[in-house]
């Protein structure tokens, strides 16, 4: 990194970065509180520091992953608990590295290379490690190879340490049996449902105009049009700059000849399927029941019924809505049993039932593409894009520097774009959340850009995916309340649903009181016709016809047979009054067949618990000092 900075000492980007870093550190920390590298310290672990830079990089990556994979609010992503979790993980990792060093646990360069090169994410089309792809993916995640490999080495060392510590963790057959009994035990419930939808049309649940106005006033923050802004910008990424890069026919042909193996059109099939869901740990009786169900559907398909229509009616998979359509796919896209069965079929054929971890499938092949070598003319434009982007990638920093020079000399973005033959674009009116998506930048960068004054020239480039952007705000519109008349219908429906749910819950509680009161026998006779008994289910759920409610499931497995549970539970079907109808022990015959795997599962859990206890001991013995607790707030 230092060599790069020295080589680019005259770069506007480097100058700006140094200015920002120095200014921010001095304003925030004064001239003290730094480690030997000039970073402020967050914590010490046995005299080893964790710097603020290290902490914030780790926190940013963690938050970015959460933002991509979960629906969390901005408050949750900035919570002290989340920051504490990240710091605790960094402390644990540092303690593990200390312990590994004491025990002489190391990882060689060859082990690191072998592990990284075996990761499919870094393979080319011929399934070999590709250094260019490796570097490109790391650039996308804003990580250098040195940073990635150092962290990867740590992970490997920590894995070795965990295996060393927990190698004696071995469960006994009795412990395996206890786990088997607990996970494979089943129950059925007797229940009565009170559905809020049955109360929606009652006059008493209709809100008044005063109710709607009060809800609007009390929840004003929910009825706001977000602030928006329009931006003019130049993007400096390989894709945006590729159009300006010349590519000769000779370069195209040479690239094709050198990468010919990568332009093999692999075998593909277009298929539909019908799925009858089945738990991987289902009992033999459950397996037979679901197999009989799929065979009935198969018979209809074999007799000429429309396969797509059958999928819409009977399939229990996510593709049911589209008639079981899976589109085109090649080898490796599906789980192995499904793939083997599908690729063995000819066009128009329907498979016999195939079992996977998802359940039983029947598959119909609608079309096939046989493997062949793609001709040069077929892939010519793809190759042109690849070469042009590679060339453009080398010019991103240079063009960025030239643009900054012109920007500071007083030129506008349009003038810069014209002189350097770049493209200047204009965004639509967007909110701060949309800015993040439009430009492909972090939430923090989006906030910086969105809060810039209208007409202010960019002072610094902002990082986006694979490059940078210079942007200027052209126009902004502030947050404004949405008029009541535009949301009154929506509020009315919300209040109606809330009132109906409240009434349904009160009715369910009244039913429960009668079933457990002095006249329980009369109440049971009154409601018997409305009661149902569920199919069997396990502790993991869901309850057939009712869905997932872990609180209800836990209460059932703790309950006594025939006794009504002391409260009502909200499920996707409505409010439920329930009692344990039957407890079904784990099947004895299955234990004998699966004994070894359950003992292994118990051993794995024991291993995890042992290592966690070991980590807790390391924490208790270490000298851990949080120097900057304010950074967690």
- Tokens read off for 386: 């690849």
How far, in Å, CA of 226 to CA of 430, rounded? 9
Other CB atoms within 10 Å distance of the CB of residue 104? 6
Give the whole-angstrom CA distance, residue 446 versus residue 438: 10
**Over the stretch 142-178, which tens digit does the pLDDT of each residue have?**
677 888 888 889 889 998 998 888 888 888 999 999 9
| Sequence-distant contacts of 337-342: CB under 8 A, at least 24 apart | 338/273, 338/363, 342/269, 342/271
pLDDT mean by block of 10 residues, the chain; 633 residues: 36 43 36 48 90 83 68 69 89 92 91 90 84 79 80 90 86 91 93 94 92 93 90 90 89 88 86 89 82 94 94 88 90 90 94 92 94 88 89 85 89 92 91 86 85 89 86 93 92 94 96 94 93 92 88 91 91 93 91 90 88 91 88 77
CA 371 from centroid of its chain's CA atoms: 34
The answer to whether the beta carbons of residues 99 and 160 sit under 8 Å apart is no
User: How many helices (H) does the chain have, and how many strands (E)?
Assistant: 24, 20
pLDDT for 68 equals 59
Q: Which two tokens stand for residue 115?
A: 């592990």
Structural domains for the chain:
1-31 (no CATH), 186-222+484-584 (3.10.50), 225-243+396-480 (3.10.50.40), 267-370 (3.10.50.40)
Distance, CA of 629 to CA of 612 (rounded, Å)? 25
Per residue, what are the HEC states of 439-451?
A: HCCCHHHHHHHHC
pLDDT at 585: 92
Three-state SS letters, 346-395: CCCCECCCEEECCEEEEEEEEEEECCEECCHHHHHHHHHHHHHHHHHHCC
**Helices 12-29, 396-408: crossing angle, 10 deg rounding:** 70
pLDDT at res. 16: 42
> Under a CB-based contact definition with an 8 Å cutoff, are residues 439 and 449 in contact?
yes
The structure tokens listed for 222 are 């929910």
| Helical ranges in 261-361 per DSSP H | 284-302, 307-314, 336-343
**CA-atom Rg of the chain in angstroms:** 32
Strand partners for 464: 467
> C-alpha angle 233/237/238, rounded to 5°?
145
Per DSSP, 170 falls in state -
Residues 426, 432, 434, CA angle at the centre, nearest 5°? 65
pLDDT of 579 reads: 95
Burial 203-221 (b: 16+ CB within 10 A, else e): eebebeeeebeebbeeeee
* CA gap 439, 466 in Å, rounded: 11
Q: Could you give the CA distance from residue 32 to residue 23 in angstroms, rounded to a whole number?
A: 14
The answer to whether residues 487 and 221 touch, using CB atoms and an 8 Å cutoff, is: no
Sign of the alpha-carbon torsion through 232, 236, 242, 247 = positive
Alpha-helix runs per DSSP H in 51-194: 52-69, 74-77, 80-103, 109-117, 131-140, 145-165, 173-184
Does residue 106 sit in helix, strand or coil? coil
- Pairing verdict, β 537-538 and 532-533: unpaired
Q: Are 539 and 181 in contact (CB under 8 A)?
A: no
The whole-angstrom separation of Cα 110 and Cα 514 is 72
Specify the pLDDT at position 4: 34
CB 268 within 8 A of CB 359: no
For the whole model, what pTM was predicted? 0.54
Which residues, 6 or more positions from 161, have their beta carbon under 8 angstroms from its beta carbon?
96, 99, 100, 103, 105
- Nearby residues of 242 by Cβ (< 8 Å), 6 or more positions away: 385, 388, 389, 391, 392
List, edge to edge, every strand of the sheet that includes 268-277.
325-330, 268-277, 359-369, 354-356
The secondary structure of residue 471, as a DSSP letter, is E
Secondary structure (3-state) at 78: coil
Q: pLDDT value at position 29? A: 36
């Amino acid at each position: 990194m230092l060599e790069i900075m020295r080589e680019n000492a005259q770069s506007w980007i480097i100058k700006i970065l140094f200015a920002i870093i120095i200014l921010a550190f001095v304003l925030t920390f004064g001239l003290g509180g730094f480690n030997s590298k000039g970073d402020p310290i967050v914590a010490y672990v046995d005299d080893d520091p964790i710097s603020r830079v290290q902490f914030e990089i780790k926190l940013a990556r963690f938050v970015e992953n959460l933002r991509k994979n979960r629906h969390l609010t901005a408050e949750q992503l900035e919570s002290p608990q989340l920051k504490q979790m990240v710091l605790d993980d960094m402390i644990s990792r540092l303690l593990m590295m200390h312990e590994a060093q004491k025990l002489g646990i190391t990882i060689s360069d060859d082990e690191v290379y072998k592990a990284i090169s075996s990761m499919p994410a870094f393979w080319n089309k011929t399934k070999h490690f590709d250094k260019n792809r490796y570097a490109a993916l790391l650039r996308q995640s804003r990580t250098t190879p040195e940073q990635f490999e150092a962290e990867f080495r740590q992970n490997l060392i920590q894995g070795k340490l965990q295996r060393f510590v927990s190698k004696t963790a071995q469960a006994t057959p009795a412990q395996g049996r206890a786990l088997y009994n607990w996970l494979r035990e089943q129950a059925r419930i007797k229940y009565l449902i009170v559905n809020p939808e049955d109360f929606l049309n009652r006059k008493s649940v209709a809100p008044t105009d005063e109710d709607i106005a009060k809800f609007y006033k009390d929840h004003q923050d929910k009825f706001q049009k977000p602030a928006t802004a329009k931006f003019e910008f130049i993007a400096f990424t390989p894709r945006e700059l590729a159009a300006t890069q010349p590519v000769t026919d000779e370069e195209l042909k040479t690239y094709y000849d050198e990468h010919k193996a990568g332009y093999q059109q692999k075998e593909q099939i277009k298929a539909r399927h019908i799925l009858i869901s089945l738990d991987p740990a289902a009992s033999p009786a459950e397996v037979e029941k679901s197999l009989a169900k799929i065979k009935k559907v198969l018979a209809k398909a074999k007799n000429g019924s429309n396969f797509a229509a059958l999928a819409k009616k009977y399939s229990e998979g996510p593709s049911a809505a589209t008639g079981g359509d899976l589109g085109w796919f090649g080898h490796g896209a599906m789980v192995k049993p499904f793939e083997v069965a599908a690729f063995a079929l000819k066009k128009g054929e329907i498979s016999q039932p195939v079992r996977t971890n998802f359940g039983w499938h029947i598959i119909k092949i609608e079309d096939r593409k046989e493997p062949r070598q793609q001709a040069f003319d077929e892939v010519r434009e793809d190759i042109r894009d690849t070469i042009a982007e590679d060339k453009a990638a080398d010019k991103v920093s240079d063009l960025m520097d030239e643009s900054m020079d012109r920007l500071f000399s007083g030129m506008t973005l349009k003038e810069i774009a014209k002189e350097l033959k770049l493209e200047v674009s204009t965004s639509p009116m967007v909110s701060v959340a949309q800015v993040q998506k439009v430009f492909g930048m972090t939430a923090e960068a989006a906030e910086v850009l969105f809060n810039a004054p209208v007409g202010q020239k960019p002072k610094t480039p902002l990082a986006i995916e694979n490059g940078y952007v210079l942007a200027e705000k052209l126009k902004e519109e502030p947050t404004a309340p949405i008029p009541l008349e535009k949301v009154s219908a929506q509020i009315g429906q919300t209040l109606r649903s809330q009132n109906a749910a409240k009434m349904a819950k009160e009715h369910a509680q009244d039913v429960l009181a009668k079933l457990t009161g002095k006249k329980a026998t009369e109440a049971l006779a009154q409601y018997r016709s409305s009661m149902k008994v569920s199919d069997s289910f396990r502790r993991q759920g869901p309850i057939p016809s009712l869905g997932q409610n872990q609180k209800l499931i836990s209460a059932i497995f703790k309950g006594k047979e025939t006794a009504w549970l002391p409260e009502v539970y909200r499920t996707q079907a409505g409010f439920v009054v329930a009692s344990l109808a039957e407890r079904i022990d784990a099947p004895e015959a299955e234990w004998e067949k699966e004994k070894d795997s359950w003992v292994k599962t118990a051993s794995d859990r024991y291993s995890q618990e042992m290592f966690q206890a070991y980590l807790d001991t390391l924490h208790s013995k270490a000298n851990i000092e949080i120097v900057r607790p304010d950074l967690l707030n």
